[in-house]
Amino acid sequence: MKPKLTTIQKEIRSLADPEKAKNLMRFFKTGKGHYGEGDIFLGLMVPEQRKIAIHYLELSLSDTMKLLHSKYHEERLIALLILISKFKKGTPEEKKKIFDLYLANAKYVNNWDLVDQSAPLISGVFLVSQKIALPILRKLARSADLWERRIAIISTFAFIRAERFNETFEIAEMLLADKHDLIHKAVGWMLREVGKRDPKKEEEFIKKFAGKMPRTMLRYAIERFPEEKRKHYLVSSKA
Protein backbone atom coordinates (compact mmCIF):
# COMPACT_ATOMS: atom_id res chain seq x y z
CA MET A 1 0.00 0.00 0.00
CA LYS A 2 1.44 3.37 -1.05
CA PRO A 3 2.00 5.97 1.69
CA LYS A 4 -0.36 8.93 1.81
CA LEU A 5 0.60 12.53 1.19
CA THR A 6 -0.95 13.57 4.50
CA THR A 7 1.21 11.02 6.34
CA ILE A 8 4.50 12.34 5.00
CA GLN A 9 3.41 15.94 5.56
CA LYS A 10 2.51 15.14 9.16
CA GLU A 11 5.93 13.59 9.76
CA ILE A 12 7.77 16.47 8.13
CA ARG A 13 5.91 19.10 10.10
CA SER A 14 6.33 17.22 13.38
CA LEU A 15 10.08 17.86 13.06
CA ALA A 16 9.72 21.62 12.60
CA ASP A 17 12.20 23.73 14.56
CA PRO A 18 11.32 27.45 14.56
CA GLU A 19 14.81 28.59 15.56
CA LYS A 20 16.49 26.60 12.81
CA ALA A 21 13.83 27.84 10.40
CA LYS A 22 14.80 31.46 11.16
CA ASN A 23 18.46 30.71 10.48
CA LEU A 24 17.64 28.91 7.24
CA MET A 25 15.46 31.77 6.04
CA ARG A 26 18.40 34.14 6.55
CA PHE A 27 20.86 31.75 4.90
CA PHE A 28 18.66 31.25 1.83
CA LYS A 29 17.97 34.97 1.44
CA THR A 30 14.19 34.96 1.85
CA GLY A 31 13.89 38.67 2.64
CA LYS A 32 12.20 41.22 0.43
CA GLY A 33 14.07 41.77 -2.83
CA HIS A 34 16.36 38.77 -2.30
CA TYR A 35 16.54 35.70 -4.53
CA GLY A 36 14.55 33.53 -2.10
CA GLU A 37 11.95 36.15 -1.27
CA GLY A 38 8.88 34.66 0.39
CA ASP A 39 10.23 31.13 0.83
CA ILE A 40 9.12 29.48 4.06
CA PHE A 41 11.19 27.00 6.08
CA LEU A 42 10.17 24.52 8.77
CA GLY A 43 13.68 24.10 10.16
CA LEU A 44 14.63 20.57 9.11
CA MET A 45 18.24 19.78 8.25
CA VAL A 46 19.15 17.99 5.02
CA PRO A 47 20.02 14.63 6.68
CA GLU A 48 16.53 14.58 8.24
CA GLN A 49 14.99 15.32 4.87
CA ARG A 50 16.95 12.54 3.21
CA LYS A 51 15.79 10.02 5.82
CA ILE A 52 12.17 10.99 5.26
CA ALA A 53 12.56 10.78 1.48
CA ILE A 54 14.04 7.27 1.74
CA HIS A 55 11.14 6.18 3.94
CA TYR A 56 8.56 7.48 1.44
CA LEU A 57 10.04 6.46 -1.90
CA GLU A 58 6.79 4.66 -2.73
CA LEU A 59 4.76 7.87 -2.57
CA SER A 60 2.76 8.06 -5.79
CA LEU A 61 4.04 10.30 -8.56
CA SER A 62 0.93 12.49 -8.36
CA ASP A 63 1.37 12.97 -4.61
CA THR A 64 5.09 13.63 -5.10
CA MET A 65 4.20 16.44 -7.47
CA LYS A 66 1.67 17.81 -4.97
CA LEU A 67 4.42 17.79 -2.35
CA LEU A 68 6.67 19.68 -4.77
CA HIS A 69 4.02 22.41 -4.89
CA SER A 70 4.29 22.96 -1.13
CA LYS A 71 4.94 26.40 0.29
CA TYR A 72 7.53 24.81 2.58
CA HIS A 73 11.07 24.58 1.24
CA GLU A 74 11.82 21.28 2.97
CA GLU A 75 8.77 19.59 1.50
CA ARG A 76 9.84 20.65 -1.98
CA LEU A 77 13.34 19.25 -1.43
CA ILE A 78 11.94 15.95 -0.12
CA ALA A 79 9.67 15.77 -3.16
CA LEU A 80 12.68 16.26 -5.43
CA LEU A 81 14.67 13.57 -3.61
CA ILE A 82 11.77 11.14 -4.12
CA LEU A 83 11.50 12.22 -7.75
CA ILE A 84 15.21 11.54 -8.30
CA SER A 85 14.77 8.01 -6.94
CA LYS A 86 11.74 7.38 -9.16
CA PHE A 87 13.68 8.68 -12.15
CA LYS A 88 16.68 6.41 -11.46
CA LYS A 89 14.48 3.33 -11.20
CA GLY A 90 12.09 4.25 -14.00
CA THR A 91 11.60 2.80 -17.45
CA PRO A 92 12.54 5.02 -20.41
CA GLU A 93 8.89 6.09 -20.65
CA GLU A 94 8.74 6.87 -16.92
CA LYS A 95 11.99 8.83 -17.11
CA LYS A 96 10.59 10.92 -19.96
CA LYS A 97 7.41 11.61 -17.98
CA ILE A 98 9.38 12.66 -14.90
CA PHE A 99 11.67 14.87 -16.99
CA ASP A 100 8.67 16.58 -18.57
CA LEU A 101 7.05 17.08 -15.17
CA TYR A 102 10.29 18.43 -13.75
CA LEU A 103 10.64 21.14 -16.39
CA ALA A 104 6.91 21.93 -16.36
CA ASN A 105 7.17 22.52 -12.61
CA ALA A 106 10.53 24.31 -12.59
CA LYS A 107 8.96 27.30 -10.82
CA TYR A 108 8.82 25.15 -7.68
CA VAL A 109 12.52 24.25 -7.98
CA ASN A 110 13.13 27.75 -6.76
CA ASN A 111 16.32 27.95 -4.78
CA TRP A 112 19.90 27.04 -5.52
CA ASP A 113 19.95 23.94 -3.31
CA LEU A 114 16.80 22.56 -4.96
CA VAL A 115 18.31 23.07 -8.42
CA ASP A 116 21.72 21.68 -7.49
CA GLN A 117 20.27 18.52 -5.93
CA SER A 118 17.94 17.73 -8.81
CA ALA A 119 19.08 19.18 -12.13
CA PRO A 120 22.14 16.96 -12.71
CA LEU A 121 20.22 13.82 -11.78
CA ILE A 122 16.94 14.45 -13.61
CA SER A 123 17.17 16.92 -16.50
CA GLY A 124 20.91 16.37 -16.91
CA VAL A 125 20.88 12.58 -16.98
CA PHE A 126 17.84 12.54 -19.25
CA LEU A 127 19.28 15.00 -21.75
CA VAL A 128 22.67 13.29 -22.06
CA SER A 129 21.07 10.67 -24.28
CA GLN A 130 18.81 13.04 -26.23
CA LYS A 131 19.48 14.69 -29.59
CA ILE A 132 17.33 17.63 -28.46
CA ALA A 133 19.58 18.30 -25.44
CA LEU A 134 21.19 21.53 -26.62
CA PRO A 135 17.98 23.20 -27.86
CA ILE A 136 16.37 22.53 -24.49
CA LEU A 137 19.39 23.75 -22.53
CA ARG A 138 19.60 26.86 -24.70
CA LYS A 139 15.92 27.61 -24.12
CA LEU A 140 16.40 27.30 -20.36
CA ALA A 141 19.53 29.48 -20.49
CA ARG A 142 17.56 32.22 -22.25
CA SER A 143 14.76 32.15 -19.68
CA ALA A 144 13.85 35.24 -17.69
CA ASP A 145 13.56 32.95 -14.67
CA LEU A 146 16.72 32.73 -12.55
CA TRP A 147 16.12 29.12 -11.56
CA GLU A 148 15.57 27.91 -15.13
CA ARG A 149 18.87 29.49 -16.11
CA ARG A 150 20.57 27.76 -13.20
CA ILE A 151 18.93 24.47 -14.21
CA ALA A 152 20.43 24.95 -17.68
CA ILE A 153 24.02 25.19 -16.51
CA ILE A 154 23.81 22.76 -13.58
CA SER A 155 22.18 20.13 -15.84
CA THR A 156 25.44 20.07 -17.78
CA PHE A 157 27.10 18.42 -14.77
CA ALA A 158 25.69 15.14 -16.11
CA PHE A 159 27.43 15.80 -19.43
CA ILE A 160 30.67 16.62 -17.62
CA ARG A 161 30.46 13.32 -15.74
CA ALA A 162 30.05 11.63 -19.12
CA GLU A 163 33.26 13.37 -20.31
CA ARG A 164 31.28 15.68 -22.62
CA PHE A 165 32.21 19.34 -22.20
CA ASN A 166 30.86 21.19 -25.23
CA GLU A 167 27.40 21.54 -23.70
CA THR A 168 28.87 23.19 -20.61
CA PHE A 169 30.99 25.54 -22.71
CA GLU A 170 28.06 26.56 -24.92
CA ILE A 171 25.70 27.28 -22.02
CA ALA A 172 28.48 28.99 -20.07
CA GLU A 173 29.14 31.29 -23.03
CA MET A 174 25.44 32.13 -23.23
CA LEU A 175 25.45 33.09 -19.55
CA LEU A 176 28.61 35.24 -19.54
CA ALA A 177 26.55 38.43 -19.47
CA ASP A 178 24.04 37.20 -16.89
CA LYS A 179 23.53 39.73 -14.10
CA HIS A 180 22.87 37.35 -11.21
CA ASP A 181 25.56 36.24 -8.78
CA LEU A 182 23.99 32.78 -8.45
CA ILE A 183 24.49 32.21 -12.16
CA HIS A 184 28.08 33.48 -11.99
CA LYS A 185 28.80 30.97 -9.22
CA ALA A 186 27.06 28.10 -11.03
CA VAL A 187 28.90 28.70 -14.32
CA GLY A 188 32.24 29.00 -12.54
CA TRP A 189 31.55 25.79 -10.63
CA MET A 190 30.73 23.84 -13.80
CA LEU A 191 33.83 25.15 -15.56
CA ARG A 192 35.90 24.07 -12.56
CA GLU A 193 34.34 20.59 -12.81
CA VAL A 194 35.42 20.44 -16.45
CA GLY A 195 38.91 21.41 -15.34
CA LYS A 196 39.07 18.51 -12.90
CA ARG A 197 38.71 16.18 -15.86
CA ASP A 198 40.42 18.14 -18.63
CA PRO A 199 42.44 21.15 -17.39
CA LYS A 200 43.57 22.02 -20.91
CA LYS A 201 40.05 22.40 -22.27
CA GLU A 202 38.93 24.47 -19.30
CA GLU A 203 41.89 26.80 -19.71
CA GLU A 204 41.21 27.21 -23.43
CA PHE A 205 37.75 28.50 -22.51
CA ILE A 206 39.18 30.75 -19.78
CA LYS A 207 41.77 32.21 -22.15
CA LYS A 208 39.07 33.04 -24.66
CA PHE A 209 36.53 34.54 -22.27
CA ALA A 210 38.31 35.71 -19.11
CA GLY A 211 37.93 39.33 -20.16
CA LYS A 212 34.15 38.92 -20.45
CA MET A 213 33.59 36.86 -17.32
CA PRO A 214 32.18 38.42 -14.16
CA ARG A 215 34.82 38.29 -11.44
CA THR A 216 32.90 35.83 -9.25
CA MET A 217 32.43 33.45 -12.17
CA LEU A 218 36.13 33.59 -13.00
CA ARG A 219 37.19 33.13 -9.37
CA TYR A 220 35.07 29.99 -9.09
CA ALA A 221 36.34 28.65 -12.41
CA ILE A 222 40.05 29.09 -11.67
CA GLU A 223 39.96 28.09 -8.01
CA ARG A 224 42.21 25.07 -8.66
CA PHE A 225 44.73 26.95 -10.84
CA PRO A 226 48.21 27.68 -9.44
CA GLU A 227 48.36 31.05 -7.68
CA GLU A 228 50.39 32.84 -10.34
CA LYS A 229 48.05 31.68 -13.07
CA ARG A 230 45.01 32.77 -11.04
CA LYS A 231 46.51 36.24 -10.63
CA HIS A 232 47.21 36.43 -14.36
CA TYR A 233 43.61 35.72 -15.32
CA LEU A 234 42.07 37.89 -12.61
CA VAL A 235 43.93 40.92 -13.99
CA SER A 236 42.04 40.54 -17.27
CA SER A 237 38.61 39.87 -15.76
CA LYS A 238 35.64 42.23 -15.62
CA ALA A 239 35.42 44.38 -12.51
| Predicted pLDDT at 235 | 86
Q: Is the pLDDT of residue 239 over 70?
A: no
State the sign of the Cα–Cα–Cα–Cα dihedral 32, 238, 220, 205.
positive
pLDDT tens figures, 165-191: 999 999 999 999 999 999 999 999 999
| Predicted pLDDT at 1 | 73
- Is domain 1-118 given the CATH code 1.25.10.90 in the classification? yes
pTM: 0.95
Contacts of 48-55 with CB under 8 Å at 24 or more apart are 48/15, 49/74, 49/77, 49/78, 49/81, 50/81, 52/8, 52/11, 52/12, 52/78, 53/78, 53/81, 53/82, 53/85
pLDDT tens figures, 45-90: 999 999 999 999 999 999 999 999 999 999 999 999 999 999 999 9
* E strand or H helix that includes residue 107: none
Question: What does CATH list as the number for 124-239?
Answer: 1.25.10.90
| Predicted pLDDT at 44 | 96
Q: Is the pLDDT of residue 216 over 80?
A: yes
Q: Is the pLDDT of residue 111 over 80?
A: yes
Cα dihedral 59→64→67→73 (10° resolution): 100
Q: Is the pLDDT of residue 7 over 60?
A: yes
- Which residues contact residue 136 at a Cβ distance below 8 angstroms, ignoring those fewer than 6 apart? 103, 123, 127, 130
Contact by Cβ (8 Å): 75, 83: no
Mean pLDDT of 12-23: 96
Count of H-run helices and E-run strands, the chain: 15, 0
What integer best gives the mean pLDDT of the chain? 95
| Predicted pLDDT at 238 | 58
Range list for CATH 1.25.10.90 in the chain: 1-118, 124-239
Portion of the chain with pLDDT greater than 90, in percent: 92
